[in-house]
Amino acid sequence: MSTLELKEATMQFGGIKAVSDFSMRVPEGCIAGLIGPNGAGKTTVFNMITGFYTPTRGRILFNGLPITGMPPHEICKTGIARTFQNIRLFEGSSALQNVMVGFHVRQKNSWWMPPFYLHLKEEKQIRNQAMDLLVRFGLDRVAHMPAGSLPYGAQRRLEIARALATRPSFLLLDEPAAGMNPQESTELMSLITNVRNDFNLTILLIEHDMKVVMGVCSHIWVLEYGICIAEGDPDHIRNNPKVIEAYLGEEYLKYA
């Protein structure tokens, strides 16, 4: 079963088509990639999937059910979570509070609902679960530090932890290796694979670091000017003449 499917999804802004008739099916349990030059429409695809944009035309299905045009919070409740190209943490709140926000998406009892002790009990459970996630991501020692004060790599891990707190089955990662050095990128590859396995997820990522893409993805789509010019496994993509010309470049082959 395909967990996510786009059918001829198009996003038009005035006379500009950011994405044109893009179709994809992401198999359940895989790690897939969406690559292409800057401005190719990759983040626009993510924004359509997560409800930040409503496609001008086309359909988006998740687990066989239409989610096209649903608001972001409702799409999150269906089991889709994301991170952002530019980190969007609550910088003044602690790392622990940032992760707790993710868990609140699934909260059953509101603070104003009687009996009040049920809310307090659930809040304690959320705090404990959030701390467990921080431990898993090696962030427990900075749990009470403001998120904005953390090193860049720690902020990236924290954003992934917060996304996982919503208990998704499908995770979108928008340039998770951005700003990382080669060592951090290598560690990220292991992290992504472990997250997929440990949390039983399907993952779709946007990434410019081809070492990461080719190292973790089993299937890749390539966009150029909003149009899909190729799709396939890493070997097919790295040897595709259209992809080499539009994005990878001949120099990539010397080091691939």
- DSSP for 102-151, please give it: HHGGG--S-TTSSSHHHHHHHHHHHHHHHHHHHHHTT-GGGTTSBGGGS-
- Cα(34)–Cα(219) distance, integer angstroms: 9
For the ranges 112-116, 184-188, 229-233, the maximum mean pLDDT occurs at 229-233
- pLDDT surpasses 90 at 21: yes
- What average pLDDT does the structure give for the chain? 89
pLDDT bin (cut points 50, 70, 90) of residue 252 is low
Domains for the chain: give ranges and CATH numbers: 1-79+168-256 (3.40.50.300), 90-166 (no CATH)
What average pLDDT score do residues 57-71 get?
A: 96
Buried b (16+ CB within 10 A) or exposed e, 213-245: bbbbbebbbbbbbbebbbbeebeebbebeebbe
pTM for this entry = 0.89
How far does Cα 186 stand from its chain's mean position?
A: 18
Q: How many angstroms separate the most distant Cα atoms in the chain? A: 66
> Residue 103's pLDDT is what?
84
96, two tokens: 């622990």
Using 50, 70 and 90 to split pLDDT, how confident is the model at 180?
Answer: confident
> Is residue 254 scored above 50 in pLDDT?
no
Residue-wise pLDDT tens digits, 114-172:
454 445 667 788 888 999 999 999 999 999 999 999 998 899 999 999 999 999 999 99
Residue 13 in tokens: 């802004």
Q: Per residue in 195-206, pLDDT tens?
A: 999 999 999 999
Q: What is the pLDDT of residue 85?
A: 84
> What is the reported pLDDT for 150?
94
Confidence of residue 179 (pLDDT cuts 50, 70, 90): confident
Mean pLDDT of 4-28: 96
User: How much is the pLDDT for 134?
Assistant: 95
Q: Of 68, 64, 53, 57, which is closest to residue 25 (Cα–Cα)?
A: 64
Residues with Cβ < 8 Å from 4, sequence gap 6 or more? Answer: 24, 25, 26, 49, 60, 61, 62, 80, 170, 202, 204
Give, rounded to a whole angstrom, the gap between the first and last alpha carbons of the chain.
Answer: 33
DSSP state of 197: H
Structural tokens at position 122: 């659930």
Distance CA 79, CA 68 (A): 14
101 has pLDDT over 70: yes
Paired sense of beta strands 202-206 and 31-35, if any: parallel
Distance CA 189, CA 185 (A): 6
Q: What is the mean pLDDT of residues 23-44?
A: 95
Distance of CA 53 to the CA centre of its chain: 16
